[in-house]
Amino acid sequence: MPLAPDVEQRLNAWLTPAYDTDTQAEIRQLVAAGHDEALTDAFYRSLEFGTGGLRGIMGTGSNRMNRYTLGMATQGLCNYLKQSFPDQEIKVAIAHDSRNNSALFAEIVAGIFSGNGITAYLFDALRPTPELSFAIRYLGCQSGCVITASHNPKEYNGYKVYWDDGSQVVAPHDANIIAEVTKITSPDQVIFAADPSRIHVIGEEIDQAYLAEVKKLSVNPAIVARQHDLGIVYTPLHGSGIQLVPTALAEFGFTNVHVVPEQARPDGDFPTVVSPNPEEKAAMQLALDLAKAQDADLVLATDPDADRVGVGVRNTRGEWVLLNGNQTAALLTRYLLAARQAAGLARPNDFIVYTIVTSELLGDVARHYDVKSYRTLTGFKYIANLIRDLAGREHYICGGEESYGFLIGDFVRDKDAVSACALVAEMAAVAKEQGRTLYEEMQRMYAEYGLYVEDLISLTKKGQRGAEEIQEMMAALRANSPASIGGSPVVEIRDYQTGQVRDVRTGAVTETGTEASNVLQFLTEAGDKISARPSGTEPKIKFYFSVKEPLALVADYEATHRRAEAKIQRIIEEMKLK
């Protein structure tokens, strides 16, 4: 089958002198070998900014992460920065994680910024993404970027862009940057030649300033001092968390921290895991094994750019189990609001935030402590956007999302696993002081608010046809919405793409109150919530399931949990997703 005309057009553009000879030779080899499928996947589109920025498989092609796609994106960003901040000295901060080519890509980006007359602050080595967010405001930058693909497999890399408040770019800047990037049609338009006088290497000063802010988050330092020997096992999963998480735990006062030795060294091949994702038990297994051997109290893990946190605890039978993102976020929210209230730190204008696919338990907890809560679209940039909008009027406490992201305090404007690790450890120390584990704290929380059980199905649809299939699935759900789910009538449909909420029983239509986003939610009479959402950064469509069951007694937790899990599985089968 011949290549599609648009694919061939992009491919031929890469066979011009604007691209280096090695790149051209690689493309010609693929053409000669007849690898049309690989060529189509590499050239069927240009990488675009999604909910997390630019992200893709590393390699040659317009749909790949390489010096050219990265360079053209950076040049477009430079052009937009000059439009947005005329007659100002423009400054940017740049960080990278442990992935293969991350350091090289960071240097290329710094060179392009400097060549465009923009001052670039480049970290001297890998650093967590939240520290990059902090550095932007600390250094008075107008923008910043981090080279990372978060928890994706080793073949991927990415480029997350931040604005002057330290948050990832949102409307209108995201669309405006894309518009400028699309104007860059050839590497000839990119100023690759660096101006070394405009590149400043940063490191220890930013580390110390950031860690000082993290330490201020502690609410119960006296209890930590008494429980300083809490047994903690930590793994950075070969990523940037090794730079700051052990230090942050030490700053809080913890003295019994064991780093998983096989995963302590940064390595972009992630040799001990298939995927460096703390959401997956396989990635956490070495940490769980060490925790068992050490008779530890707590397991903590961070993904390669240290913005997501994974938590392991012992259940009532002494077995090590992993908390999911909803459980960790709800526990942290409950701990922070209760501890602040007990310490006399609560303010009338306090608020928390969580996303539309995160457990409604966070809102229940906030109401219990008379704290306002907000819901945003999926993606931490929307939480950061709300923090910015409410700054000076309301006081941000914490915010979380189901995908293992959490942020305490507003000195960072993105999810922060460094501070989350420190506060989870403090929370565990407070529970231990009271004779309980975090697992037992979770059971008590559910007995107080009701048992929420969530699950996620993520379907990967690769390549051009995969992207089309995802859109077809969403179109089918909109055209033929289910009348009932799990044996309960659907009573409300929220379509965040149209911005409409429809009451199925009355036909009344209201507004979602958010920006447009390709997300569908179905709410049933029983109180269950099912969400469908294509990923903005990966070739996936995600289905989120949430059911709630009454739980009067902690003793009934296991049986009630099994009943809720069984209901979710029935819903998944009913929707033909397995």
> What's the rounded Cα separation, in Å, for the pair 96 and 503?
46
> What's the rounded Cα separation, in Å, for the pair 378 and 375?
9
Closest CA to 96 of 149, 23, 134, 152: 149
Can you give the length of the chain in residues? 578
What is the SS3 assignment for 548? Answer: strand
> What's the rounded Cα separation, in Å, for the pair 330 and 442?
9
> What's the rounded Cα separation, in Å, for the pair 48 and 128?
23
Residue 536: its pLDDT value, please?
Answer: 63
Superfamily classification of domain 210-449: Alpha-D-Glucose-1,6-Bisphosphate, subunit A, domain 3 (3.40.120.10)
HEC readout, 266-324: CCCCCCCCCCCCCCCHHHHHHHHHHHHHHCCCEEEEECCCCCEEEEEEECCCCCEEEEC
Question: Residue 132, by phi and psi: left (phi above 0), alpha (psi -120 to 50) or beta?
Answer: alpha
Place of tokens 């269950």: 528
The tokens for 532 are 């469908």
Residues tagged active-site: 150
| CA contacts within 13 A on the Cβ side of 141 | 27
The beta-strand segments (E) located in 437-487 are 451-460, 484-485
| Cβ atoms of 297 and 254 closer than 8 Å | no
Closest CA to 286 of 364, 274, 18: 274
Task: Return the CATH fold of 46-196.
Answer: Alpha-D-Glucose-1,6-Bisphosphate; Chain A, domain 3 (3.40.120)
CA distances from 272 to 14, 77, 155, 404 (A): 36, 36, 15, 21
Residue 118: its pLDDT value, please?
Answer: 98
Residue 1: its pLDDT value, please?
Answer: 58
Partners of 259 in the β-ladder: 234
- Neighbour-count burial for 305-332, b at 16+ CB within 10 Å, e otherwise: bbbbbbbbbbeeeeebebbbbbbbbbbb
| CA contacts within 13 A on the Cβ side of 245 | 38
> What's the rounded Cα separation, in Å, for the pair 403 and 454?
12
Residue 50: its pLDDT value, please?
Answer: 59
> What's the rounded Cα separation, in Å, for the pair 196 and 114?
7
Q: Do domains 46-196 and 210-449 have the same CATH topology?
A: yes
- 53 secondary structure, DSSP code: B
- As a 3-state breakdown, the chain gives helix, strand, coil percent values, each rounded to 5, of 40, 20, 35
> What's the rounded Cα separation, in Å, for the pair 559 and 546?
17
> What's the rounded Cα separation, in Å, for the pair 325 and 316?
20
The tokens for 303 are 């993904």
**Does 172 sit behind a cis peptide bond, omega within 30 degrees of 0 on the bond before it?**
yes
What is the SS3 assignment for 251? Answer: helix
pTM of the predicted structure, to 2 decimals: 0.93
Residue 56: count other Cβ atoms within 10 Å of its Cβ. 27
pLDDT digits (tens, 9 = 90+) for 254-306: 999 999 999 999 999 999 999 999 999 999 999 999 999 999 999 999 999 99
Q: Please state the φ and ψ torsions of residue 10, each to the nearest 5 degrees.
A: -65, -40
User: In CATH terms, is domain 451-574 a member of 3.30.310?
Assistant: yes
| Cβ atoms of 304 and 276 closer than 8 Å | yes
What is the DSSP secondary-structure string of 119-175? EEEEESS---HHHHHHHHHHTT-SEEEEE--TTS-TTEEEEEEEETTSSBP-TTHHH
Partners of 545 in the β-ladder: 455, 530
Residue 332: its pLDDT value, please?
Answer: 98
Q: Where along the chain do its domains lie?
A: 1-44, 46-196, 210-449, 451-574
Contact partners, residue 198, CB within 8 Å, separation at least 6: 113, 114, 117, 118, 119, 120
Closest CA to 127 of 152, 140, 144: 144
Low-confidence residues in the chain, pLDDT < 50: none
Closest CA to 234 of 222, 245, 223: 245
Place of tokens 């967590």: 128
| Cβ atoms of 89 and 101 closer than 8 Å | no
Contact partners, residue 356, CB within 8 Å, separation at least 6: 375, 376, 377, 378, 494, 496, 514, 519, 521, 531
- Roughly what angle, to the nearest 10 degrees, separates helices 67-84 and 102-115? 40
CA distances from 383 to 132, 138, 324 (A): 17, 20, 20
